[in-house]
Amino acid sequence: MRLTTLVHCVLFSLVSSLHIAAQRPAIPRDEQVERQVEQTLARLSTDEKIGQMCELTIDVITDGQSGDFRLNEEALQKVFAKYHVGSLLNVPKGLAQRPEVWSTLIRRLNQLSAETCSGVPQIYGVDQIHGASYTWGATLFPQEIGQAASFNRRIPRRVSEIGAYESRVCLIPWVYSPVMDLGRQPLWSRQWESYGEDVYLSCEMARQAVLGYQGNDPNHIPPHGVAACIKHYMAYGVPVSGKDRTPSSVTDREMREKFFQPFRSAIMAGALSLMVNSSVNNGVPFHANYKYLTTWLKDELQWDGMVVTDWADINNLCTRDHVAATKKEAIAMAINAGIDMSMVPYEVEFCDLLRELVNEGWVSMARIDDAVRRILRLKVRLGLLDRKTWDKEPKKLAKEFPLFASDAYAAEALQMTEECMVLLKNEKVKGKNEELNVLPLKEGAKILVCGPNADNLRAMNGGWTYTWQGERTNEVAPQMGHYPTFQQGLKERFGAANVRFVEGVRWDARNFNLDHRTDDWTQLTKAAQGADVVIACVGENSYCETPGNINDLNLSDNQKEMVRTLTATGKPVVLVLAEGRPRIIRDIEPLCQAVVHTFLCGNYGGKALARLLAGDVDFTGRMPYTYPKHTAALITYDYKPCESVGQMSGNYNYDAVMDVQWPFGFGLHYTSVQYSNMRVDKSTFTKDDVLTVTIDVKNTGDRVTKESVLLYSSDLVASLTPDIRRLRAFEKVELQPGETKAVSLKLRAVDLAFVDLNDQWVLEPGDFRLSVGDQHTVVTAHLPPGGGS
């Protein structure tokens, strides 16, 4: 800790600067893979190489109506025989397809492309993002934001393993997942696609997702695995305006310290491909940023994976961002910055223009060869050059993948969904003889369920569910399986005679952000008066990307008015939130006796919620982002000291400049958990040390639970104003009633470093406060003169 400016200067030289470049290639080199890549590359003509770099949407080669499609033979010839296109994407006609339809389609495309491109088949990519969400009948899970709330690494791992399995039965080898943009701007319409606002949580979850998709050996993706495409590189989640695909304003320093980290973590776990952020940072479109695409990603990390654009983003350099005068100039700019494959996605003209650029010397053959090597490496690692991996009849595939849409997967999905919901409030209410918490609901209680999300699988699942915007889920999901909505789940659990459903407010059929009253509140009031407890299911309807932009973060007036009407009856009201981003509820929250956040919970949410509300299982989730209270107080938990007044302690709204509804990491149980006896194995440390922090965690209640134990650090004084606190480690442990477990968390000294103004990771000497629950202690970094690296 520095006391004076003089001391400050002296100690500055003691700072330990840490090398940022990777010490080893992110993915170990495999000689056999490299040999096959080189042999294949040598066979390809320049046109074939350029074709490999082109990705088109399936719409270019299909005809037909929604859901029902056929291949257009003329277009197929053009795309493969003439242009040797290396990749296709998207679901035909915008609606989930059955495994046999997918596999028949992809097999045919592979055959044709391999025949017309020296034996190299195209690679098909699909947005299967919470399970195989474009596959009819697949097992769906909570969206990433819900998975993050579980603070359980096993959940993204299993979601991805099962998602990969249920993709590969379709012969889909490549998924555009996981999203690892930090969701630090609550207005952003894709916050729910992220693992929330925290760097460490996102790093950990993203790593698990990659391992789940790909397995442990990125050079040999197993037959049940797929290649991950981590996205969207990077800082996509912090548009200044809050609108999708609008500029961010992040310095290189903060980029490296925060936004780069989840990508680094996923790449070190073996991620084979990466998709680029559509937008612009400090004036530079990411698709034209050599430093980020080539220096940071490919050179520093020694990563030999493949970089694909997002939708039409090379054209956007010209048509939208005005940094290139022509589409041709835009192509040169992007390819030279480090793009390997262009998701064009409609025009084969990309190939003609790139050929001209090569002929004219604007793009070197060396850059083309590098890009194509990366594409071929991806295909080789997936085994696609070996026909046996994909030349299979649907029947054979069905035999090889017997667990597709199985009861075993459904059971896992239900259990996981239960861990992805958070209990935010649970007050005592007067019972007949005593005061009891409103939750768990009592057996035999008369329950009124209402609100636009009470009977709405669409709102529970969100976007990227069977369609891009998720707008057909209510119609198609019930054709695939028994997926109870919230109100149906409650009826099944508590008995239909005890549960009444009155909608109250309904979503507009066309505008996802508009709702209408279905009642002048007479029916609703009467129904509430006849009930013991009311469950009000509010939030958002499904949406995705730019169509999901909003101008106001408040929950809609109709929904708020519905809640006020219900609470005016004097009956206890449980507010159930189902929403992709936090909608402000400051004025209605105090009126409700309990609040549960379900995020976007997926098809098993109805059953999971009923079991949680009944107390069949305990709530074990925690907030993966800060829930705002005011539209003009949007903040993340790792804010700067000047953003608050008063003491730094557990919650952060004392004397608040920034006042929040619920902080990051917040979540209640039915049982109670106590922390004690925090100890650290070292009170002083140097940069190579690993600290072990141990804490006794006791379940003091009468139910089994799981507790996520979160370790935070605070750098008490630093040369750049530090974040007030940062999550550094977590572990989720199961606790029987009365059980105490000593939980140990590892903290590497280097994890306490930050990025300085010279873009270097530095660990400065001085004091760090470590805290777990209500326990804390201070440890001190002693660094030798000169620091070292």
Active site residues: 310
Number of neighbouring beta carbons within 10 Å of residue 508: 12
User: CA-to-CA distance for 423 and 595, rounded, in angstroms?
Assistant: 6
User: CA-to-CA distance for 553 and 281, rounded, in angstroms?
Assistant: 24
On whether the CB atoms of residues 738 and 772 are closer than 8 A, the answer is no
Residue 93 DSSP one-character state: G
Tokens of 232: 């969207």
Q: What does residue 627 show for φ and ψ, rounded to 5 degrees?
A: -90, 115
Q: Does 144 bind ligand BGC (CB under 6 A)?
A: no
Q: Does 127 bind ligand BGC (CB under 6 A)?
A: yes
Q: Closer CB to ligand BGC, residue 59 or residue 707?
A: 59
Tokens of 133: 């969400």
Q: Does 579 bind ligand BGC (CB under 6 A)?
A: no
Residue 555 DSSP one-character state: P
Q: How far is the CB of 464 from ligand BGC (least distance, A)?
A: 8
Tokens of 693: 């922090």
User: CA-to-CA distance for 426 and 701, rounded, in angstroms?
Assistant: 15
Angle separating helix axes 365-381 and 31-43, nearest 10 degrees: 130
Angle separating helix axes 365-381 and 327-337, nearest 10 degrees: 70
Q: Does 723 bind ligand BGC (CB under 6 A)?
A: no
Q: How far is the CB of 304 from ligand BGC (least distance, A)?
A: 22
| Whether residue 232 has a cis bond before it, omega within 30° of 0 | yes
Q: How far is the CB of 316 from ligand BGC (least distance, A)?
A: 11
Q: How far is the CB of 177 from ligand BGC (least distance, A)?
A: 8
Residue indicated by tokens 């590189």: 233
Cβ-closest residue to ligand BGC? 176
Q: Closer CB to ligand BGC, residue 545 or residue 696?
A: 545
Q: Does 55 bind ligand BGC (CB under 6 A)?
A: no
Q: Which residues, other chains included, contact 695 with Cβ-Cβ below 8 Å and sequence gap of 6+?
A: 675, 676, 677, 678, 679, 709, 742, 743, 745, 772, 773, 775
Q: Closer CB to ligand BGC, residue 129 or residue 201?
A: 129
Number of neighbouring beta carbons within 10 Å of residue 698: 17
Q: How far is the CB of 467 from ligand BGC (least distance, A)?
A: 12
Q: How far is the CB of 176 from ligand BGC (least distance, A)?
A: 4
Q: Closer CB to ligand BGC, residue 156 or residue 178?
A: 178
Site string for ligand BGC, 79-108 (x = CB under 6 A): ----------xx------------------
Q: Closer CB to ligand BGC, residue 207 or residue 231?
A: 231
Q: Which residues, other chains included, contact 129 with Cβ-Cβ below 8 Å and sequence gap of 6+?
A: 143, 144, 175, 176, 177, 178, 179, 193, 464
User: CA-to-CA distance for 675 and 308, rounded, in angstroms?
Assistant: 47
Q: How far is the CB of 237 from ligand BGC (least distance, A)?
A: 12
Distance of CA 100 to the CA centre of its chain: 29
Site string for ligand BGC, 291-330 (x = CB under 6 A): -------------------xx-------------------
Q: Closer CB to ligand BGC, residue 231 or residue 377?
A: 231
Q: What does residue 786 show for φ and ψ, rounded to 5 degrees?
A: 85, -15
Residue type for position 452: P
Q: Closer CB to ligand BGC, residue 344 or residue 745?
A: 344
Q: How far is the CB of 417 from ligand BGC (least distance, A)?
A: 23
Q: Closer CB to ligand BGC, residue 127 or residue 707?
A: 127
Q: How far is the CB of 91 from ligand BGC (least distance, A)?
A: 9
DSSP 626-684: -EESSTT----TT--GGG--S---SSS-TT-SS-EEE-TT--B-SS-EEEEEEEES-SE
Residue from the set 136, 151, 174, 176 that interacts with ligand BGC by CB under 6 A: 176
Residues within window 518-547 making contact with ligand BGC, judged by CB under 6 A: 545
Residues near ligand BGC (CB under 6 A), total: 8
Site string for ligand BGC, 192-231 (x = CB under 6 A): ---------------------------------------x
Q: Closer CB to ligand BGC, residue 59 or residue 455?
A: 59
Q: Which residues, other chains included, contact 67 with Cβ-Cβ below 8 Å and sequence gap of 6+?
A: 93, 94, 95, 97
By CB under 6 A, name the binding residues for ligand BGC.
Answer: 89-90, 127, 176, 231, 310-311, 545
